[in-house]
Structure 1
Amino acid sequence: MLRPLQTLFFVFIGSFLLTSCATSQTKSTAKVNNAPPATKWGELVSNSAVFRQNHTGFALYDLEKQETVAEYQADRYFTPASNAKLFTLYAGLCMLGDSIPALRYTTKGDSLIFWGTGDPSLLHPDMPASNVFAFLKNWRGHLFYYPHNYTGKRFGAGWSWADYADYYQAEISPLPLYGNVVRFTNNTVSPRTFKDSLRTAAWSEKFKLARDEFANNFYSMGWPTKSFTEDLPFRVANSTMAYLLSDTLKKEVRLFPKTALGPQFKTLYSLPIDTLYRRMLQVSDNMFAEQILLLCASQIDPNNEGIDATKAIEHVKKQFLADLPDEPIWEDGSGLSRYNLFTPRSVVKLLQKIHAKVPQQERLFGLMAIGGKAGTIRNQYKSKTPFVFAKTGSLANTYCLSGYLRTKSGKTLIFSLMNGAYIKKTAEIRAEVERILTEIHEKY
């Protein structure tokens, strides 16, 4: 009788211990997996069927409350594409004044020696005329162009070199002319210097213009069936730039040999700086973004030792961006580089800092692409009163949108919604981003 009782006793104790262990294990597991519940705004993103196979991150910040109201994978790193231009904007706001420092120059007798600081506006076909052309045209003595102060390469780190002939990848240079592109139309070639450089190549059913990679030899294939305007970057060389200036000014411009320029110089200012920011953000002009970084680099080069974008980036990161939640991997000004990596919460923090620099919302929002009205989102977010003011970012398999959102209730929100590594059509991703932001606009 005793043995069966002992057996039952040990079975009971064993069962109790096993149950206790299981309960303890369940509680422990529950504790580990007990992540904070997402808000309904974050759930719009996390529950999206369109984003299901994406790498997606989202952050939403209430300016009035000064608090984050929604996050979804906001600490993950994403390729930002042209969202990198927001970092370039902030660099400019921190380092540049109200007007573009277009030229540096010095004089020796009747000779004017001048060099560029990165200003992309001189003779640009889509920009207003500045005083730089008149300044050079009206000089009564000799003109010498010094091109040796640029120490960078023609393309940024991580760019696709196969895109050398595409309009969005003009070469970087210290004193761009004509936007560093040749503009072809049905009847004209500008700058006219290149009008004899166009040849007819092999036949093609589809009209196309092309260029040799390392020479300014342009080719047309096929025949245009309608009016067209097409920009192709030209190959930048010191002699080419001096010749373009000579041809346009109708006076000789010679190259000045490489030497130590030193700190003795004057600066000529040109257009309002917002003309650069607005085109960079609304049209998503890559060339302007890279050149704005060079303008910033020139501000930390008082002895004219040499400018390049990497110096500006490192300076801005150290002096102005040390408080971001996550260190930005920032390689270029435009976002063409696949090396760039930012997190949504860092982009939102950056947009807070931009807003603090430009608290006048009429000015700030006027620089951005405006939903239903201007720039890269003019065909989206259509409303009687615009409510999205943002920067797009698009590369293959990448679509990001970050900026400011006005709600029907009168709130101003900052958001960053970043998508990458998807195989759907970008139009589907773009439409889903629009659906989510429109719902927040209507219901927040």
Structure 2
Amino acid sequence: MKLRVLGAVVAVAAGFSLTSSGGAVAVGNEALTADLDAILADNALKGADVGVTVRDANSGEVIYTRQGAKRSQVASNLKLLTTAAAMDLLGPDYRWKTELLTSGTRSGATLNGDVVLRGGGDPTMSRVRYQALADALKASGVTTVNGSLVVDDKKFDSNPLGPGWAWEDVPFSYSAETSALTLSPDAKFSAGTVVVRVKPGATTGAPVVVTTEPSNDHVQIVSTATTNGNAGITVQREQGTNRILVSGSTWAEVTALTTVKDPTGLVTSVFQKALQANGITVTGGVKRQEAPAGAAVLATDTSMKLSELMVPLLKDSNNMLAEVLVKTAGKSFGNGVNQLSTKWAGLGVDPNVVEVFDGSGLSRYDQFSPDDLTSVLIKAKTKPWFSAWQASLPVAGVDGTLVSRMKNTPAAGNVKAKSGSLTGISGLSGYVKTAAGRDLVFSVVQNNYVLFNNPKNIEDRVAVRLASDGGSSIAPQIQSVPQQRKAPEQDRAKVPAQERFDVECSWIGTC
């Protein structure tokens, strides 16, 4: 892990100079300053740490800043930096490969030697695409492998979880393990997970029927759930195991995502089933090791371009896609961040005044500032990949994690921004065009807010004010709506999804 310098340093972005203090600083717009000051004076922010920076998107001129240089946790706003640096380092046309290889020899329908499934880190691989690799082996005429199935996930190191991730999040789909051989069971590319499908039994009181997609022998379902009442179904993986516990009751079909321990093992099970479906017998069992040098390629699956992957990554705030970028850059979390950091200066970020430990922002060790986030947004405009990258950001009131936010306001269809959510942390950073036609970038980062105040209200009111001319057009957004306080010990998996502000809405299926 590269050691970065911390301390009371004012961030000086490449090409821009910002001045920030504990109070607000604004330039030439008293009405805007007064409105933003009023929003940030909301009682919901009492005791919280809030940083705000607003700048001209073209010149970099500071329009408004309050604690803009102060480092804090920015949650998924960090994906702006990760994706921009990856587009620079790997290139927008980068693709991942998953290969089937062998160093064996053919004798009729028999392959004498091992067959190797080698992962390149493609997080979008699916059961269907692994099946296609098995189909290609069958199409070549092989029906027997007189050797082993070798699975090679050595493209990445063996540490599957990022530094500073919360241990209690590990069973949830937004905190899955990262592996060079992985699988996504859904269209949103939830890598490292399986879909658990719960169907009611034939009669009242009967056990429910639980299946997984894809079908596999890697996880074990342990169900006490019944066909009775509407108490609801809880699906959660037991810590440190692949036992998936299903409890509760239901009359209706329910689906849920849960992570798996060791995604390589899941892929191995799925690929074995694909070989069996083709009538291919492997005599020597399974080995985990690196493919032998000089092995011949039998079949290859190639992913979509990196620029195309930006859409699900940023629109849905997909953590696992972001972490794949880090490990693709440098095999491990530490070296991957260091490799990406070679591109930070070109994005207006000094590597010596920030702390970054992962790609998604899940790490509680990450420290970044609103000033730096706006620098990334400004510098990205100068890059050849900018159009595709900006088009991948959620649009207020239209799609992604902002689909339900700022509807019927001047920000709707206008604000293109990355949201971020963790317990006690919320942020929104992106682009907005004012009523007068001026292009701005902005970043609002909130830390240490209390859970029964919705922090998204503050961010939305700032964004709506920037998109409007003030006055009555922002009135509907001015009132905060406190939520019912939850007991600290309450199981987060049982808190109604629509009441959770500590995760991105896309992670729990509410947007």
With the length of structure 2 as denominator, give the TM-score of the two structures: 0.69
Tell me the equivalent position of 1:216.
242
Mean Cα deviation higher: 410-419 or 183-192: 183-192
Q: What are the within-5 Å matches in structure 2 for residues 371-386 of structure 1?
A: 371-383=396-408, 386=413
What is the letter of the counterpart of residue 137 of structure 1? D
1:346 matched to 2:351? The reply is no
What does 1:106-185 align with in structure 2 at a 5 Å threshold?
107-110=102-105, 113-123=116-126, 134-139=132-137, 140=140, 144-178=150-184, 179-185=191-197
CA displacement at 1:105 relative to structure 2: 6.4
Deviation at 1:117? 2.4
1:308 pairs with 2:314: no
Q: Does 1:294 align with 2:327?
A: yes
| Corresponding residue of 2:252 | 226
- Backbone CA RMSD of aligned residues: 3.2
Task: Specify which of 347, 356, 363 is matched with residue 330 of structure 1.
Answer: 356
Which of 218, 221, 245 pairs up with 2:271? 245
Higher helix share: 1
Q: Does 1:73 align with 2:67?
A: yes
Q: Provide the C-alpha distance between the structure 2 equivalents of 1:183 and 1:36, rounded to a whole number of angstroms.
A: 47
Q: Distance in 2 between the 1:160 and 1:37 partners?
A: 35
Match of 1:436 in 2: 462
Cα contact 1:165–1:211 (8 A) shared by 2: yes
- The one-letter code sitting in structure 1 at the alignment partner of 2:416 is F
Contact 2:181–2:263 under 8 Å retained in 1: no
Return closer, same or farther for 1:224/1:333 CA change in 2, 3 Å cut-off.
Answer: farther
SS of the residue corresponding to residue 100 of structure 1 reads coil
Q: Are residue 279 (structure 1) and residue 312 (structure 2) matched?
A: yes
Q: 1:38 aligns with which of 18, 23, 26?
A: 26
1:235 CA displacement: 1.4
Distance 1:396 1:316, change over 3 A: same
2:216 matches 1:193:
yes
* Structure 2 residue 124 is matched with structure 1 residue 91: no
Q: Is the Cα–Cα contact under 8 Å of residues 314 and 394 in structure 2 kept in the other structure?
A: yes
Matches within 5 A, 1:26-65: 38-39=26-27, 40=30, 41-47=32-38, 48-50=40-42, 51-65=45-59
Quick one: distance in 2 between partners of 1:269 and 1:351? 30
CA distance in 2, matches of 1:133, 1:311: 33
SS, match of residue 356 in structure 1: coil
Residue of 416, 431, 437 corresponding to 1:410: 437
Give, in angstroms, the shift of residue 164 of structure 1.
2.1
Q: Secondary structure at the match of 1:291?
A: helix
Q: 1: CA distance between counterparts of 2:345 and 2:134?
A: 38
Unpaired segments ≥5 residues, structure 1: 1-32, 298-306
Could you tell me how far apart the structure 1 residues matched to 2:415 and 2:164 are? 30
Q: Partner of 1:56: helix, strand, or coil?
A: strand
| Counterpart in the other structure of 1:303 | none
TM-superposed deviation, 1:144: 3.4
Match of 1:28 in 2: none
Per-residue Cα deviation, 1:387-409 (whole angstroms, up to 9, x for no partner): 11111111111110011112222
Distance 2:176 2:301 in 1: 24
Amino acid at match of 1:370: V
Q: 1:46 to 1:73 in 2, by over 3 A?
A: farther
Aligned equivalents of 1:209, 1:388: Cα separation in 2: 36
How far 1:134 sits from its partner (Å)?
2.8
Aligned equivalents of 2:24 and 2:170: distance in 1?
A: 48
TM-score (norm 1): 0.79
The aligned amino acid for 1:150 is F
In structure 2, the gaps of 5 or more residues are: 1-20, 106-113, 185-190, 200-210, 471-511
* Partner Cα distance (1:277, 1:369) in 2: 11
Letter in structure 2 aligned against 1:308: S
**Percent of aligned pairs with the same residue?**
22
Could you tell me how far 1:260 is from its partner in structure 2?
A: 8.1
Q: Displacement, 1:256? A: 4.9
Aligned length: 396
